[in-house]
Structures are given as C-alpha cells and as structure tokens.
C-alpha cells in the first residue's frame, strides 16, 4: 500500500514541502547542537541535549498535525501543520543574539534554509486551509 494513501486528499506539494522543512529543520538543529559553542551569544545553559529535545518537540507538532489529517480531522491537522511551519521562524532568533556576519557560513545556510522551507510550508498550508474553509462554508 502507498504510505501516503491516507494523505491522498492532500496535494503532493504539501507533503513535499513538509518533508523539505523536516529535513532543513533537522539540519539546522543538528548543526546547532553539534557546534553549539560556535553559535555566538547562546545562553550557557543551552546544551546539545536541549537543542535536540526542542527539535523533537517542534517536530511532534507537525507529526500530530499529519496524524490528525490521516484520521480525517483535516482542518485541525492543517492548523497544527501551520503552527509547525510557523515555529520554523524561531531560527531567526539567532540574529537577535548576534548579527549574521558573526555566524559561520554553514550556520547561516542552515538557519536560512530552515526559514525558507518553513515559509513555503506555511504558505501552502494556509492556502489549503483557506480553500477548505471556503468549501466548507459556502452557502
């Protein structure tokens, strides 16, 4: 059976964008955790384990969203996927601690690619949510 069979009501683009955001988020958080000492001005209390735990927490929001969609709670699921995507903008907080030029090129790439993927997923999710909302409330 096709693993996306139960998600077949969703545009394939949404699934691709979610996968892209998942991977770029994993890349950013992994880089952050493994090179935590190279990220300027991070709080001393922040550890690699806490970075990975934050990633698991954020990712679980998206996973829950897709599980709800599979269970036919599409609107609630899409809302959670939108929240998951919006959480991807949190990486920009690095630039409130130190300007872009103080981050390594790889750090900037991982941060900005996560934000770009999150923006695309958020836009697609909001469009799909709006479309389904309009279909549901036509009268």
Handedness of CA 50, 52, 55, 56 (dihedral sign): negative
CB atoms within 10 A of CB 49: 9
3-state secondary structure of 129: helix
Q: What is the pLDDT of residues 47-106, one digit of tens each?
A: 999 999 999 999 999 999 999 999 999 999 999 999 999 999 999 999 999 999 999 999
Q: Distance (Å, rounded) from C-alpha 39 to C-alpha 69?
A: 37
pLDDT of residue 2: 46
Q: For residues 70 and 77, give the distance between their C-alpha atoms in angstroms, rounded to a whole number.
A: 9
What's the pLDDT tens digit per position in 9-21? Answer: 678 999 999 999 9
Q: Which pair of structure tokens corresponds to residue 45?
A: 């209390």
pLDDT at residue 136, rounded to an integer: 85
* Tokens read off for 125: 């999710």
Query: How high is the pLDDT of residue 6?
Result: 54
Q: 109-139, pLDDT tens digit by residue?
A: 999 999 999 999 999 999 999 999 988 888 5
């Amino acid at each position: 059976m096709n693993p996306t069979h139960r998600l077949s009501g969703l545009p394939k683009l949404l699934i691709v964008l979610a996968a892209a955001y998942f991977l770029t988020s994993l890349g950013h958080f992994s880089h952050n955790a493994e090179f935590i000492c190279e990220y300027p001005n991070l709080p001393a209390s922040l550890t690699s384990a806490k970075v990975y735990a934050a990633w698991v927490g954020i990712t679980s929001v998206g996973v829950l969203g897709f599980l709800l969609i599979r269970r036919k709670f599409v609107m609630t699921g899409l809302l959670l996927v939108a929240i998951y995507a919006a959480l991807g903008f949190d990486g920009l907080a690095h630039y409130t601690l130190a300007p872009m030029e103080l981050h390594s090129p790889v750090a900037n790439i991982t941060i900005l690619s996560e934000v770009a993927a999150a923006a695309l997923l958020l836009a697609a999710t909001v469009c799909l949510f709006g479309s389904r909302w309009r279909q549901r409330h036509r009268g």
